[in-house]
Structure 1
């Protein structure tokens, strides 16, 4: 993975495609995020550090890295974590999910998005959590103004 490819975007008619440079995106053929209008759809992010390719064996550290990856995609799209309106958590071992609650509360405690947790196998056994979000650009500001 090349660091200089960390964030790329290009516009395709009414939507902007954002890539983190992750090998998965290239191999499978998807975008890290898609922006259309004020909506930002961020693909499921795992705990890989896209700059180094490293993955911690700890679920809480993976959750932190997932959310750094999400925040990076949102930033490239012109949005923030505070703009997240929907989040889906996927964990292979549902018993482990409560261990990441403090991490999730830290990142989403103010935004308080609609949320779903699904217990499902992930692409690789070493992946402990995957997080997918939908954001509405500027919605945090609108909420604060209301």
Structure 2
């Protein structure tokens, strides 16, 4: 993809239209994936369990990356946002499963999320062909 090309990727979440964003943006060989929460976009369901939500976040991220022509191994940066930092450790087995071999630069932030039911949001940046 030429450096000046821009491709928008949608998960078809109603939030994308309501708020005005894309699930991911491909710019040149970089992929910027918006913060993903634990919603299953096909069913609208979200688990009350933080580890289950983390798993769904990565499934959503993996789908966006695949549509962009990339994989989880291409992730170079990850940000975790949790309303309660005490929940972070419960997600570690999921993070290890998805990124243990990739080992991107990472930051964990404690902050409120858009809805009370959301216990984690994950944002990644990837570089194609890493």
| Same fold flag (TM > 0.5) | yes
Following the alignment from structure 1 to structure 2, what is the Cα–Cα distance between the partners of residues 24 and 44?
Answer: 12
Higher relative contact order (CA 8 A, sep 6+): 2
Verify: 1:84 aligned to 2:75, yes or no: yes
Other structure's SS at 1:110 match: coil
116, 122, 136: which is aligned to 2:107? 116
Q: Which residue of 1 aligns with 2:88?
A: 97
Following the alignment from structure 1 to structure 2, what is the Cα–Cα distance between the partners of residues 27 and 52?
Answer: 18
Other structure's SS at 2:125 match: strand
Q: CA deviation at 1:46?
A: 0.1
Other structure's SS at 2:57 match: helix
Following the alignment from structure 1 to structure 2, what is the Cα–Cα distance between the partners of residues 15 and 62?
Answer: 30
Following the alignment from structure 2 to structure 1, what is the Cα–Cα distance between the partners of residues 17 and 57?
Answer: 19
Q: Which residue of 2 aligns with 1:62?
A: 53
Deviations 1:104-125 (A, max 9, x none): 0110011100000000000000
Verify: 1:27 aligned to 2:18, yes or no: yes
Deviations 1:77-116 (A, max 9, x none): 0010000000000000001100000100110011100000
TM-score w.r.t. the length of structure 2 is 0.96
7, 25, 31: which is aligned to 1:16? 7
Q: CA deviation at 1:26?
A: 1.1
After the TM superposition, list the runs of 4 or more consecutive aligned residues in structure 1 that deviate by more than 3 angstroms.
none
Query: Which structure: larger Rg?
Result: 1
Q: Gapped runs of 5+ residues in structure 1?
A: 1-12, 140-146
Matched length: 127
Deviations 1:43-94 (A, max 9, x none): 0000000000000000000000000000000000001000000000000000
Q: Which residue of 2 aligns with 1:36?
A: 27
